[in-house]
Amino acid sequence: MQLGSIINISSGSSYTPAIGGISNVNDPSGIGNGGGAQRPNLVPGQPCRNPSFANFQWINPKRYTMNGFKLGTIGSAPIGDCLGPPTRTVDFSVAKNFHITERIKAQFRMDAFNLFNHPQYGDWATIRAWLT
pLDDT digit string, tens, across residues 30-70? 455 555 567 788 888 888 888 777 666 778 878 888 888 77
What contacts 24+ positions apart, CB below 8 Å, involve 122-126?
122/85, 123/15, 123/84, 125/56, 125/57, 125/58, 125/85, 126/15, 126/57, 126/58, 126/59, 126/84, 126/85
Q: Specify the pLDDT at position 125.
A: 41
Average pLDDT over residues 81-108: 91
Q: Is the pTM of this model over 0.85?
A: no
Task: Name the residue with higher pLDDT: 85 or 23.
Answer: 85
- Residue 131: the pLDDT is 45
Average pLDDT along the chain: 77
